[in-house]
């Protein structure tokens, strides 16, 4: 979905007319994420509900929250013409302007009158306020009025977007009481189905695992000309100069976004999503995480009816400085070997002497000293260093008394800082 407004193939190289954008008056009611905090695992333990399970004529409770967001523009096609100056930005990393919009998943081809899918949830979802993560989000296509979106935005919500002119509609926060009926194995099941062909009425349902029935979530009718549908991982993200990634990348560390058990209603019959009615390439920007502003992202196709996007837990960076001094009289040299588990693009190393040591010259590094505080910076030839690759440099100096080695140092590179042990 587009920064805050569910996604709907509206970017199809300019040939799809986007349904009315979210009204400017839409306001965000920010609620804290539920206290329970545990990233979701792929939904496997609970069998997927049948699309033809009975409808309950009961409304899903708690639909009181509207999601703030940009006007939706829909899933984007790799290589398509740029829609506007605020949609797509040059790749590859490390930087872009404004928000980057990317998606990965499956496009629905042909004529469908319904979709069913099971979508994972990460209960503690709370991305950066400027980022919008819609993952997963599903839309049947074929002129459907409704897209159903898992929204990570100052909490975790399930919200409908009305492509027949209504824009964002009230959704529900994934609270503990909601989870009791609608969440199993860290996932919920959603169905969107055409329920009146004459008026092009569509109804969205959530499966109630307590009653084993589909509860009504949202109903809409009207005109929409979009063709293809989708089930996608979608993100709008802003450049974070501190991490050289999209803001959401750190905020979703350890999350897993899974869509599974996707069925389509074709010719009045529910069928499995398959290679004959889906396209895995139409709306997917590849499997390089950097393309999505998050290099660690991992992408997996489980089948034509299932995909997983994982943001693995990032191990803390390790930084070590091998400090080898050699002293004589009132003089000394120190040879340093710096190794960091994260690649460096320009670096500086700062530490504090314990005594009155004073650097007089250095090699393979530039130096600056103020009192006991020293900063060594790279030279032109050794500023770019691969992960876990040592870079050597050193200096000569004078002292009186005791020439005590520093015990810790701070490495700075690319806006990030690392605490280094000195050995």
- Averaged pLDDT in 10-residue chunks for the chain of 423 residues: 37 31 31 36 63 93 67 61 30 63 93 97 78 94 96 89 91 93 97 97 98 97 90 92 84 93 96 95 91 93 94 86 97 98 94 97 98 98 94 98 96 90 95
- Residues 325, 292 share a domain: no
pLDDT (0 to 100) of residue 46: 67
Instruction: Tell me what pLDDT residue 77 has.
Output: 62
Give residue 73's pLDDT. 63
Q: Which residues form the domain of 105?
A: 55-310
Q: How far is CA 76 from the centre of its chain?
A: 16
Quick one: 146 and 104 in the same domain? yes
Domain boundary among the residues 248, 283, 310 is at 310
3-state per-residue secondary structure call for the chain = CECCECCCCCCCCCCCCCCCCCCCCCCCCCCCCCCCCCCCCCCCCCCCCCCCCCEEEEECCCEEECCCCCCCCCCCCCCCCCCCCCCCCCCCCCCCCCEEEEEEEEEECCCCCEEEEEEECCCCCCCCCCCEEEEEEEECCCCCCEEEEEEECCCEEEEEEECCCCEECCEEECCHHHHHHHCECCEEEEEEEEEECCCCEEEEEEEECCCCEEEEEEEECCCCCCCCEEEEEEEEEEEECCCCEEHHHHHCCCCEEEEEEEEEEECCEEEECCCCCEECCCCCCCCCHHHHCCCCCEEEEEECCEEEEECCCCCCCCEEEEEEEEEECCEEEEEEEEEECCCEECCEEEEECCCCCEEEEEECCEEEEECCEEEEECCHHHCEECCCCCEEEEEEEECCCCCCCCCEEEEEECCEEEEEEEC
Q: Do 66 and 148 lie in a common domain? A: yes
| Assigned domain for 278 exists | yes
Q: Which of 310, 337, 361 is the last residue of a domain?
A: 310
pLDDT value at position 304?
A: 87
**Same domain membership, residue 402 and residue 294:** no
Pair 83, 231 in one domain: yes
Q: What is the domain-level CATH number for residue 416?
A: 2.60.40.290
Q: Considering the domain boundaries, does residue 167 fall inside one?
A: yes
Q: What is the pTM of this model?
A: 0.68
Whether residues 275 and 361 share a domain: the answer is no
Same domain membership, residue 265 and residue 401: no
Whether 174 and 235 map to the same domain: the answer is yes
d(CA 141, CA 19): 12
333 and 387 both lie in a single domain: yes
Residues 256 and 352 in one domain: no
pLDDT in tens, 210-223: 999 999 999 999 99
Residue 370 is assigned to a structural domain of this protein: yes
Instruction: Evaluate whether residue 221 is within a structural domain.
Output: yes
Q: In this structure, is residue 111 part of a structural domain? A: yes
- What is the pLDDT, as a whole number, of residue 332? 98
The pLDDT, as a whole number, for residue 67 is 60
Is 120 domain-assigned?
yes
For 381, the token pair is 């030839």
**Alpha-carbon span 101 to 72, nearest angstrom:** 11
**Cis peptide bond prior to 186, omega within 30° of 0:** no
Choose the final residue of a domain: 291, 310, 329. Answer: 310
How far is residue 251's CA from residue 129's CA, in Å, rounded to a whole number? Answer: 10
């Amino acid at each position: 979905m587009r920064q805050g407004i569910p996604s709907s193939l509206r970017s199809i190289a300019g040939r799809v007319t986007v349904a009315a954008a979210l009204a400017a008056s839409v306001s965000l009611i920010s609620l804290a994420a539920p206290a329970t905090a545990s990233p979701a695992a792929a939904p496997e333990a609970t069998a997927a509900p049948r699309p033809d399970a009975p409808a309950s004529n009961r409304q899903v409770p708690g639909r009181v929250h509207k999601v703030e967001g940009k006007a939706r523009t829909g899933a984007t096609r790799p290589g398509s013409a740029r829609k506007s100056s605020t949609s797509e930005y040059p790749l590859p990393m490390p930087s872009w302007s404004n928000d980057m919009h990317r998606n990965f998943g499956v496009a629905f081809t042909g004529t469908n009158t319904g979709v069913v899918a099971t979508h994972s949830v990460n209960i503690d979802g709370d991305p950066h306020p400027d980022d919008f993560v819609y993952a997963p989000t599903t839309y049947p296509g074929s002129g459907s009025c409704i897209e159903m979106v898992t929204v990570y935005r100052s909490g975790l919500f399930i919200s409908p977007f009305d492509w027949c002119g209504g824009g964002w509609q009230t959704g529900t926060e994934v609270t503990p009481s909601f989870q009791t009926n609608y969440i199993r194995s860290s996932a919920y099941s959603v169905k969107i189905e055409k329920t009146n062909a004459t008026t092009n009425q569509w109804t969205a349902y959530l499966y109630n695992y307590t009653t084993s029935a589909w509860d009504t979530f949202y109903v809409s009718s009207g005109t929409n000309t979009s063709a293809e549908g989708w089930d996608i991982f979608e993100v709008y993200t802003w450049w974070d100069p501190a991490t050289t990634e999209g803001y959401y990348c750190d905020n979703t560390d350890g999350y897993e976004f899974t869509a599974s058990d996707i069925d389509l209603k074709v010719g009045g019959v529910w069928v499995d999503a398959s290679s004959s009615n889906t396209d895995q390439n139409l709306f997917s920007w590849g499997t390089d995480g950097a393309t999505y502003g998050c290099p660690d992202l991992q992408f997996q196709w489980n089948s034509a009816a299932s995909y997983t996007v994982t943001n693995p837990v990032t191990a803390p960076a390790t930084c070590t400085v091998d400090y080898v001094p050699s002293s004589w009289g009132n003089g000394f040299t120190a040879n340093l070997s710096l190794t960091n588990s994260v690649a460096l693009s320009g670096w500086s190393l700062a530490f504090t002497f314990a005594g009155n040591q004073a650097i007089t010259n250095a090699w393979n590094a530039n130096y600056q000293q103020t009192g006991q505080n020293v900063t060594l910076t790279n030279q032109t030839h050794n500023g770019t260093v691969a992960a876990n690759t040592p870079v050597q440099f050193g200096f000569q100096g004078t002292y009186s008394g005791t020439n005590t080695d520093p015990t810790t140092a701070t490495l700075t590179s690319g806006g990030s800082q690392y605490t280094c042990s000195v050995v």
